[in-house]
């Protein structure tokens, strides 16, 4: 079966996000009232799998995220 | 003569000068494409560069290549394993060394000369330095900000310092915990460092301080 | 294309070209690809001295450094694309010049980036500046070629625009020289690297037009996403292929895409080529033959090899994970023939693509020099003004983002008069670029001479003996008589100055139509120089207590 | 009013996407049947604004995306 997957990988709470800080500042400079800007990593793909949850969870642990510094979440939807 | 493999991943770019530095240090070194094997060598170096263009996270994709299983065995057997810059990132990503290298505190690539304090001279790579000696080398990285949840868990080898060996926030170029520039495993046979010793191995290039990393490594194998 | 050119083409062919043929002619007859307005003048430049192995005419020039070492050099502008999308434009500019040097058979070892912008007070200029630098950094760093110097200038005349020039040098052994043209028929044409997409379709024609007000939102096809990962693999794979000795000709795909690379490769020595365009690996579905033939997708190279050697080279490309395909062959007959799914869809005399008639535009002299009063301003005030000018302050913010140390050769690092790269244990190569558009604007002849003289002084001040020059001429529309006159004067100045120093130009680039909303840029010749220096004699820099003296008038 | 915003910025169809290609290959190497992997840029932040849609759209045009090569979408939810 085919699935449409989106993974979001975020830095753990408490770890600072230098890139997010710079972009946040840039937006504030343009006059927007932006706070706590973060730049999670996002991956979108099609997956052929019989056990998509298990495989996506594995992918995150094995490659897409670094468990020492990241948390992750994902959405999995069947491809029509 | 001790033989070293310098592993080349797609995007590695400090392989030639690393081979040259090992040669100057009295060893023999060969570039080994990552699809090959390192079984016949006495030691291995993971050089700097941008393996897989640093996509995803620096070192992440290289760390999952088959050849890293051989590197892991090397490390466990007590053979010398040296990771420089991107090589250090590959070593942490593969879990051979603890911690993670995150984007610099100012999220930009930065290439500059820094001073390092040698705080551990009992590793395979630092035996020829004096304890507490201050040396000069260039850094060149965008993700060199060393992070570990519990710094007491690591063996610190190099710290960013000033000319006199003072370790302060000002001498920290990338935001690393405790100004860490290089760490080793418990046994001292695996070293990961962000600065480039191979770029400080020639009198015309600004410093020869880095050459002793390779000399130590060569002598350690001979011992 | 101008009406008289279209007429000429119809007469030569004796028929109306079809859509594909027109598209190919259009790119090849663009100013960018044909140098039709500049060629008559460029002839004035001296191109020979005792160091020159190969002068202008191929992808890059070559000088002899010593018996075992040749140095390859080239320079390129990427002005229009960078003004539209600074990150991708500047990055792919680096990629292009690196491949030009690579395709002579040399390993690229250093880059210089003379870059120019409008005043930083304007947000758009600041954006262009930051992202041009980031584009150069991200690309150069990832391919492992150090950017060892450059120039950065801010000038009101470049408001909302940018001039991005990049010079590259490479190192090679004489036996590895590969030309960009074939000297036999029956060779297979092998396309290697990135897949072909709709990138940069009409890029060269675009580069030969002035930017209109909404350039930013026009045509996304003018923009390219840089792929330094593939470029780095192309460098290694190409060199490994060259070292087999089996590469008969080699060209990178830049402006004009496959049409330009294949027709020039085949046509230069009077051969022809057949291209099977449907064999080109594609990135996007549904592309038509016109798009395939003129796409400017980056990070692609074209190899000519004997049929029996195709597999050997293919293995090398596969080792590096690069896609490749045989897309055509060279033929005896000097024609350029394109097939699409078995059907012949274009058939032109090859010289109609490669030998484009020159144009001489009207010239009109102008004088900008006038007597002015020195403004009444105190020394302190003047000093403050000069000292704080973005044109004067240190450019460390820029070159710290460049990996200027990679490859382990950078003896004299950015921040000095010229960079020096270690070539062997005894000698280094000095490399520097200079230009002075304000001077050129006042007096183009003197401005050009001044640029050459500055290059020479900078080389000498690191102890180097100058050997050769390369030049990049950034100008507005040649159809403006004053601009064309400044161009002619500039070339005259470049020529006379080089002759005075017994120097030769081994390569160069011309970029016309640098205008935004009908405002011409200042004449901007950029000159880069190469010199040889004994590593032992490079001045170490001043120490406290040294005396200062001025020599000269 | 305060809003929680997530912006996704994607490369337009047909443009070369070396990063997506390389990460997709890495996952396939690990044995997963992954296709069409893309790496959109993701920004998450808190925004104080009276007209959040208008401002977020503006931010995308002015800074977060390049209209020439990107498309974007966002979700905006009130902060509880
Ligand atoms: N865009 C750039 N990239 C790299 N190096 C640069 C750049 N701009 C300036 N530099 C370096 O900064 C130093 C000073 O440059 P510049 O101000 O042009 O010097 P000068 O006034 O002596 O010609 C030189 O070493 C030059 O190579």
pLDDT tens, C119-169? 999 999 999 999 999 999 999 999 999 999 999 999 999 999 999 999 999
Binding site membership of C154 for ligand 1 (Cβ less than 6 Å): no
Q: Which residues of B30-40 are buried (b: 16+ CB within 10 A; e: fewer)?
A: bebebeeebee
Supply the residues of B annotated as catalytic: 85, 196, 198
Q: What tens digit of pLDDT does each residue of B114-171 get?
A: 999 999 999 999 999 999 999 999 999 999 999 999 999 899 999 999 999 999 999 9
In chain C, % of residues over pLDDT 70: 96
Cβ-contact C309, C324 below 8 angstroms: no
Of the candidates D14, D22, D69, which has its C-beta nearest C197's C-beta? D14
Provide mean pLDDT across the span B45-57. Answer: 97
Residue C213's pLDDT band (cuts 50, 70, 90): very low
Q: What tens digit of pLDDT does each residue of C225-247 get?
A: 999 999 999 999 999 999 999 99
Provide mean pLDDT across the span C532-551. Answer: 90
Active site residue C179: no
Of the candidates D27, D40, D55, which has its C-beta nearest A63's C-beta? D27
Residue C217's pLDDT band (cuts 50, 70, 90): very low
Given a cut of 80, is residue C290 above it in pLDDT? yes
Question: Does the beta-carbon distance from B109 to C138 stay under 8 Å?
Answer: yes
Residue B82's pLDDT band (cuts 50, 70, 90): very high
Of the candidates D19, D29, D30, which has its C-beta nearest B55's C-beta? D19
Catalytic residue of the set C51, C78, C404, C439: C78
Residue C208's pLDDT band (cuts 50, 70, 90): low
Nearest CA residue ID for atom 24, ligand 1: C415
Given a cut of 90, is residue C541 above it in pLDDT? no
Provide mean pLDDT across the span A16-44. Answer: 94
> How far is the C-alpha of A37 from the C-alpha of A26, rounded, in Å?
11
Give the pLDDT of residue C219.
55
- Could you identify the atom of ligand 1 that is nearest to the CA of residue C434? 23
Q: Is D76 on the interface with A (CB under 8 A)?
A: no
Positions in chain D whose pLDDT score sits under 70 = none
Spatial CA neighbour of C147 closest among C165, C174, C128, C125: C165
Q: Is D34 on the interface with A (CB under 8 A)?
A: yes
Nearest CA residue ID for atom 16, ligand 1: C151
Give the pLDDT of residue C216.
43
Question: Does the beta-carbon distance from B16 to C408 stay under 8 Å?
Answer: yes
Question: Does the beta-carbon distance from D14 to C297 stay under 8 Å?
Answer: no
Average pLDDT, chain C: 94
> How far is the C-alpha of C400 from the C-alpha of C416, rounded, in Å?
14
- D24, D28, D42, D56: best to mutate for the A interface, most A CBs within 10 A: D42
> How far is the C-alpha of C214 from the C-alpha of D68, rounded, in Å?
11
**DSSP state, residue A14:** T
Question: Does the beta-carbon distance from B56 to A66 stay under 8 Å?
Answer: no
| DSSP strands (E only) in C363-404 | none
Nearest CA residue ID for atom 27, ligand 1: C149
Between the CA of residue C550 and those of B19, C453, C459, C543, C544, what are the distances in Å? Answer: 45, 17, 18, 17, 18
DSSP string for C10-47 = HHHHTS---HHHHHHHHHHTSHHHH-TTTHHHHTTS--
* Residue predicted with more confidence, C206 or C539: C539
Give the pLDDT of residue C199.
85
Rg for chain A (alpha carbons), in Å? 16
Give the pLDDT of residue C220.
52
Task: Give every CB contact of residue C14 below 8 A, 6+ residues apart in sequence.
Answer: none
> How far is the C-alpha of B155 from the C-alpha of B190, rounded, in Å?
11
* Both structure tokens of B169: 């926030």
Beta bridge partners, A44, equal A6, D38
- D14, D22, D23, D39: best to mutate for the C interface, most C CBs within 10 A: D14
Give the pLDDT of residue C542.
82
Given a cut of 70, is residue C203 above it in pLDDT? no
CA angle C443, C79, C196 (to 5 degrees): 150
DSSP string for B106-163 = S-S-EEEEEEEEE----STTTTTSPTT-EEEEEEEES--EEE-S-GGGSEEEEEEE-T
Q: What tens digit of pLDDT does each residue of C4-21 get?
A: 999 999 999 999 999 999
Residue D71 CA, ligand 1 centroid: distance in Å = 37
Beta bridge partners, B110, equal B141
Spatial CA neighbour of C347 closest among C9, C4, C21: C21
């Amino acid at each position: 079966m085919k699935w449409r997957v989106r993974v979001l990988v975020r830095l753990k709470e408490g770890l600072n996000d230098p890139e997010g800080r710079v972009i946040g500042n840039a937006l504030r400079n343009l006059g927007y009232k932006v706070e706590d800007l973060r730049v999670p990593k996002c991956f979108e793909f099609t997956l052929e799998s019989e056990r998509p949850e298990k495989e996506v969870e594995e992918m995150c642990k094995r490659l897409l995220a670094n468990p020492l510094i990241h948390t992750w979440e994902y959405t999995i939807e069947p491809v029509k | 003569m001790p033989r070293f493999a310098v592993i080349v991943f797609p995007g590695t770019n400090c392989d030639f000068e690393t081979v040259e530095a090992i040669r100057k240090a009295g060893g023999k070194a060969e570039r080994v494409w990552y699809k090959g094997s390192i079984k016949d060598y006495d030691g291995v170096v993971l050089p700097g560069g941008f393996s897989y263009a640093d996509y995803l996270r620096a070192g992440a994709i290289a760390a999952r290549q088959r050849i890293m299983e051989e590197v892991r065995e090397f490390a466990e057997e007590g053979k010398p394993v040296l990771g420089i810059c991107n090589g250090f990132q590959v070593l942490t990503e593969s879990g051979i060394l603890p911690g993670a290298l995150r984007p610099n505190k100012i999220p930009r690539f930065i290439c500059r000369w820094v001073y390092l304090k040698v705080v551990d001279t009992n590793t395979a790579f630092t035996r020829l330095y004096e304890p507490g000696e201050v040396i000069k080398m260039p850094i060149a990285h965008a993700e060199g900000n060393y992070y570990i949840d519990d710094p007491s868990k690591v063996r610190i080898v190099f710290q960013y310092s000033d000319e006199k060996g003072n370790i302060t926030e000002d001498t920290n170029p990338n935001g690393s915990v405790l100004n860490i520039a290089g760490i080793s495993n418990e046994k001292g046979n695996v070293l990961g460092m962000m600065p480039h010793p191979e770029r400080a191995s020639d009198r015309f290039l600004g410093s020869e301080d880095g050459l002793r990393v390779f000399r130590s490594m060569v002598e350690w194998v001979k011992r | 294309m101008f009406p008289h050119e279209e007429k000429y083409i119809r007469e030569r062919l004796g028929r109306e070209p079809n859509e594909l043929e027109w598209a190919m002619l259009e790119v090849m007859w663009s100013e960018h690809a044909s140098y039709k307005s500049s060629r008559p003048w460029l002839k004035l430049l001296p191109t020979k001295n005792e160091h020159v192995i190969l002068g202008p005419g191929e992808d890059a020039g070559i000088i002899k450094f010593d018996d075992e070492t040749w140095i390859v050099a080239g320079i390129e502008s990427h002005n229009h694309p960078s003004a539209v999308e600074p990150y991708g434009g500047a990055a792919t500019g680096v990629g292009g010049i690196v491949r030009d040097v690579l395709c002579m058979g040399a390993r690229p070892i250093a880059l210089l980036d003379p870059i120019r912008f409008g005043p930083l007070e304007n947000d758009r200029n600041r954006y262009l500046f930051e992202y041009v630098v980031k584009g150069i950094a991200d690309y150069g760093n990832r391919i492992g070629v150090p950017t060892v110097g450059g120039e950065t200038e801010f000038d009101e005349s470049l408001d909302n625009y940018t001039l991005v020039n990049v010079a590259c040098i490479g190192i090679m052994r004489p036996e590895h020289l590969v030309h960009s043209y074939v000297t036999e028929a029956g060779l297979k044409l092998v396309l290697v690297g990135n897949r072909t997409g709709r990138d940069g379709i009409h890029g060269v024609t675009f580069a030969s037009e002035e930017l209109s007000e909404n350039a930013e939102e026009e045509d996304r096809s003018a923009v390219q996403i840089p792929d330094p990962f593939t470029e780095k693999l192309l460098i290694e794979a190409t060199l490994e292929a060259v070292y087999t000795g089996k590469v008969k000709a080699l060209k990178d795909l830049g402006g004009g895409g496959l049409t330009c690379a294949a027709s020039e490769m085949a046509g230069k020595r009077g051969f022809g080529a057949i291209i099977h365009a449907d064999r080109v690996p594609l990135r996007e579905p549904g592309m038509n033959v016109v798009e395939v033939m003129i796409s400017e997708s980056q990070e692609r190279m074209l190899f000519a090899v004997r049929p029996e050697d195709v597999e050997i080279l293919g293995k090398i490309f596969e080792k590096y994970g690069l896609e490749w395909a045989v897309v055509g062959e060279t033929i005896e007959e000097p024609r350029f023939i394109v097939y699409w799914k078995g059907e012949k869809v274009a058939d032109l005399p090859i010289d109609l693509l490669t030998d484009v008639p020159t144009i001489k535009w009207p010239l009109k002299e102008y004088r900008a020099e006038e007597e002015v009063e020195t403004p009444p301003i105190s020394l302190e005030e003047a000093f403050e003004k000069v000292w704080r000018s973005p044109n004067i302050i240190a450019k460390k913010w820029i070159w710290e983002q460049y990996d200027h140390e990679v490859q382990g050769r950078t003896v004299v690092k950015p921040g000095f008069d010229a960079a020096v790269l270690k070539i062997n244990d005894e000698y280094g190569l000095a490399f520097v670029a200079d230009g002075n558009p304000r001077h050129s604007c006042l007096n183009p002849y003197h401005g050009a001479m001044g640029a050459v003289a500055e290059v020479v002084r900078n080389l000498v001040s690191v102890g180097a003996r100058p050997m050769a020059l390369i030049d990049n001429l950034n100008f507005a529309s040649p159809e403006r008589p004053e601009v064309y006159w400044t161009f002619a004067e500039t070339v005259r100045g470049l020529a006379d100055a080089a002759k005075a120093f017994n120097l030769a130009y081994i390569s160069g680039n011309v970029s016309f139509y640098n205008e935004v909303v009908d405002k011409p840029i200042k004449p901007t010749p950029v000159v880069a120089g190469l010199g040889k220096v004994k590593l032992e004699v490079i001045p170490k820099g001043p120490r406290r207590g040294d005396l200062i003296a001025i020599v000269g008038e």
